[in-house]
Structure 1
Amino acid sequence: MGSMRGSSISSWALLVAKALEAGGHDSEDVFRRAGLDPAKLKDADARYPIEGMRRLWRLAVQVTGDPYFGLKAAGFWHPTTMHALGYSWMASDSLRDALIRMTRYGRLVTTVAEMTLEEFDDHFAFKIHSLITRSQTPNEAIDAGLATLVSMCRMSYGDDFHPLRVVTQRPKFDDPAPYIEYFHAPVEFSASDNILYFSKDSLEAHLLTANPRLARVSDRVVTQYLAQFDKGSTAIRVRAKLIDLLSAGNVTQKDVADSLHMSLRTLQRKLSEERTSYKELLDETRRELANQYLRQASLSVSEVTYLLGFSEPSNFARAFKRWTGSTPSEFRAAA
């Protein structure tokens, strides 16, 4: 199934295979030349090493002679391209929620990029920061990453979705027109990072595809996958345990440490090294689940209280007010 260290999920490489085949090229031959086993494309949990993915992107451009190959590959995106994260995305309440999921679980797709979403007074900035050197990152992979994210936004929001601005590390094309046309936005080339700027209205609008139950189930699959394969991230493993254990009642830090077969002190140290804490993870997980549960009319506020491991509705109401500024009932009425 492959290691998480310096890797991408195999379904991300499937975009390359489909784009090659659509152009009349033998994708299996290209994969083998890149040192990648094409059979792994049929294993949803498999991963490819980053070195092989780098060779694959560059070979694909050589074979096709298409400098815009990354954009072509993005056109084959499907929710399964990102395992269960694709379904979490499609079921999100808003594009803001979807992008927050991407920042949290993006390691499922690739372990060599860090994604962040920053809010400003009148816009949002979604940054994809590479954790490897610029020379190790194929331009086509950057193109595909940015274009796929915009394609995902359009699939959820509508074809009229456009970013405000695109900033990319890739050098300017001889003819940048197809690139600019794809994004329908101004593009800055040869930048120090990769950033998509979005309007607040577009990211905060409620999505017709929102499905809290599906989002919750998909999030659980994502966290289980990461907990199994991303052994280096204690925070991911703690989040997965919290999702599993919260409905059984109040979950203590010691409960989680015991379930992960480590001492309380070791758990605290590992989380501190990842710049987080048990309290922060517990709050984040409860807040996310609360937002999903309260959008399900079939669940009463009392039921949501106990599903989140609170002993009393009043305790849940206080916590929810602290998280959102509104009571659970006010939130449900406005949803």
Structure 2
Amino acid sequence: MSGERFTLDPNFKALLYDLRVSPARVLRRASLPGDLLSRGPVALLPEEYFRFWDALDAEGGDPNLPVRIGQAISVEMFNPPIFAALCSPDLETAAQRIATYKPLIGPMHLGVEQNSKGLRISYHWPAGMRPPQLLAMSELVFWAALARIGTRHNVRPTRISVPQLPEAPDVVGDFLGARVRKEAAHAITFATVDATRPFVTENEQMWRFFAPELRRRLSDLEGAASITDRVRAALHETLPAGDPSMTAVARRLAVSSRTLQRQLHLEGATFQVILARTREDLARHYLGHGAMSPAEIAYLLGYDDTNSFYRAFRTWTGTTPQALRSAGTG
């Protein structure tokens, strides 16, 4: 994902003015071209995209900024993926649609899981890169704002988790209606009753209009990415679901296992090497940015038992998860 580019929504210029933040100052602080927001849709590298959000946070200087950004979302904001989400019948469908097209918006992938606790939406960032606090918190606030616009109800999540608490967690917590907890992943959970609550903004005809164009844009983006990068991104989604197999990844990429194997061979890569490297990168991330136990990490990495994770981890690093965490080098 590190070499890919992502679209910066042209609506950002209007959003910055609504937030009373100078676009010129944000771009200058981020070391980005001063005319960037006047060119129409522009593509940024992940590090440029993250610099933009760090600069916005610094220029905004307001702990309430994630909430203000969430409140700026409206039906009138013409962003095709978000507009398509509002055309969905409910939040669960909207989350699945946005998860599919989120790579068009920024360097991140979404995990969408429906279980007995409700609908859980989690974020997966480029390996080795920590997202700006403002970006991560705004993304979580976005889901509550979207649900409230779509349902016209004061929908509240049942759980919000972040690896690092924001400067003023109560500000965001008050808006969301739930306490922000410190856990390993950026994630937000909604009760099933709210996840399936009908959207009054549902418009199947508009969705059918937008879907082909979104699929084309996604295909163009994926076509520019290496198959190795695409496999790594797919593993970020299949591993927490407990399936580290090539079959699961091939299904996610809509190719056969044989075709996937051949494409990787052409890049001088193998599925097992990518799987091991992705697991190691994620393990180091979890150990360095949260308080998850080795058993929980093993589960998120798709291992059947903790002992298998320990053996693999020692092969990668020559030490144990606890020792690496204690040394602070995760």
CA RMSD of aligned residues (A): 3.4
| Change beyond 3 A, Cα 1:139–1:163 | same
How many residue pairs match? The answer is: 241
Q: CA deviation at 1:88?
A: 1.4
Amino acid at match of 2:165: P
2:42 aligned partner:
46
1:179 aligned partner:
172
1:33 aligned partner:
29
Amino acid at match of 1:67: P
Query: Structure 1 residue 117 and structure 2 residue 112: aligned?
Result: yes
Contact in 1 for aligned 2:7/2:104 (Cα 8 Å): yes
1:58-77 matched pairs, under 5 angstroms: 58-77=54-73
Structure 2 Cα separation of the partners of residues 233 and 101 of structure 1: 23
Amino acid at match of 2:170: A
Structure 2 Cα separation of the partners of residues 22 and 180 of structure 1: 23
Q: CA deviation at 1:124?
A: 1.6
Contact in 2 for aligned 1:4/1:229 (Cα 8 Å): no
Contact in 2 for aligned 1:10/1:40 (Cα 8 Å): no
2:195 aligned partner:
203
* Aligned pair partner of 1:84 in 80, 102, 117: 80
| Change beyond 3 A, Cα 1:268–1:14 | same
Structure 2 Cα separation of the partners of residues 164 and 115 of structure 1: 18
Q: CA deviation at 1:271?
A: 10
Q: CA deviation at 1:143?
A: 0.9
Contact in 2 for aligned 1:18/1:76 (Cα 8 Å): no
Q: CA deviation at 1:153?
A: 1.6
Q: CA deviation at 1:270?
A: 4.7
| Change beyond 3 A, Cα 1:62–1:110 | closer
Q: TM-score, normalised by structure 2?
A: 0.63
2:8 aligned partner:
10
Q: What SS class does the counterpart of residue 230 from structure 1 fall into?
A: helix
Amino acid at match of 1:104: T
* Aligned pair partner of 1:192 in 184, 190, 194: 184
1:56 aligned partner:
52
Contact in 2 for aligned 1:68/1:140 (Cα 8 Å): no
Q: CA deviation at 1:212?
A: 1.4
Query: Structure 1 residue 221 and structure 2 residue 217: aligned?
Result: no
* Greater CA drift, 33-42 or 125-134: 33-42
| Change beyond 3 A, Cα 1:269–1:150 | farther
Q: Which has the larger radius of gyration?
A: 1
Q: What SS class does the counterpart of residue 102 from structure 2 fall into?
A: helix
1:142 aligned partner:
136
- CA offsets per residue over residues 27-57 of structure 1, 9 Å max, x none? 1232133132354435554222222222222
Q: What SS class does the counterpart of residue 180 from structure 1 fall into?
A: helix
Q: CA deviation at 1:81?
A: 6.3
- CA offsets per residue over residues 51-70 of structure 1, 9 Å max, x none? 22222222223223213323
Which runs of no fewer than 5 residues in structure 2 stay unpaired? 228-256, 272-330
1:285-300 matched pairs, under 5 angstroms: none
Aligned-residue sequence identity (percent) comes to 17
Structure 1 Cα separation of the partners of residues 263 and 78 of structure 2: 27
Which runs of no fewer than 5 residues in structure 1 stay unpaired? 235-263, 275-335
Q: CA deviation at 1:117?
A: 1.1
Q: What SS class does the counterpart of residue 51 from structure 2 fall into?
A: helix
| Change beyond 3 A, Cα 1:201–1:47 | same
- CA offsets per residue over residues 158-192 of structure 1, 9 Å max, x none? 2411111111123243x432111111112203x21
| Change beyond 3 A, Cα 1:84–1:180 | same
Structure 1 Cα separation of the partners of residues 76 and 44 of structure 2: 16
Amino acid at match of 1:46: V
2:154 aligned partner:
160
